[in-house]
Amino acid sequence: MSLESKEQMIGGLALVVLLAVIGFMNQTRDLSTAADGRIRVDALFGRVDGIAPGAEVRLGGIRIGSVADQRLDDRFRAVLTLSLTDSVPVPKDSSASVQTDGLFGGKFIVIEPGGSLDNLKTGDLIAFTQDSQVVSDILELIISQGRQALEERKAGAIAAPAAADGPTGAIGDPGLEGPSGIFK
């Protein structure tokens, strides 16, 4: 056997060993997720303001997991990896939304269960999501609606005196007396 063929054989063997190690690591990762009673699923959002790894994931107000990771996809959308307990089956067509604990409280993910008979498993994607609502955006909306209502009232108050050009006065005023002596 020549030196060159020995080097090729050693290189091929090293490649096989490397691929076996990578495959074993992937299997172990999937098994450890299953062994620790958890599944990992992704959820795709437009924005997730205030959510960080460790944030709670709730279903029916009960904690069933946490946010394990967050990243941006190639279209700059937020991808959250959720680590959920496998003791609570979550239907595949469930939805996820970013919620706030009170007006200025912490953020968390709420899972609304769907009606599918198939349940989420590791590697699945929650397709139906609702983005985070930013408090400053909500306050800005309330203020702009208040200003609009005030302007409408001012416009109505200016138009109201023009409509009230008819008879005015108190009861007993000859301008208001009718057959009963009270109204026309």
pTM reported for the whole predicted model: 0.58
Q: What does the pLDDT average to over 73-90? A: 96
Q: Which residues contact 121 (CB under 8 A, 6 or more apart)?
A: 39, 41
> Which H or E element spans position 159?
helix 135-163
Residue 25 DSSP class: H
Distance between CA atoms of residues 24 and 19, nearest Å? 8
Distance between CA atoms of residues 66 and 44, nearest Å? 15
What's the pLDDT score for residue 156?
77
Lowest mean pLDDT among 22-36, 44-58, 65-79: 22-36
Looking at this protein, which amino acid is placed at residue 54? G
Q: What does the pLDDT average to over 135-153? A: 84
Does residue 157 sit in helix, strand or coil?
helix
Judge contact between 109 and 82, C-beta under 8 A. yes
- Residues linked to residue 84 through DSSP beta bridges, in sequence order: 39, 65
pLDDT digits (tens, 9 = 90+) for 16-50: 877 777 776 665 554 444 557 899 999 999 999 88
Q: Which residues contact 182 (CB under 8 A, 6 or more apart)?
A: 171, 176
What's the pLDDT score for residue 13?
78
Distance between CA atoms of residues 152 and 178, nearest Å? 36
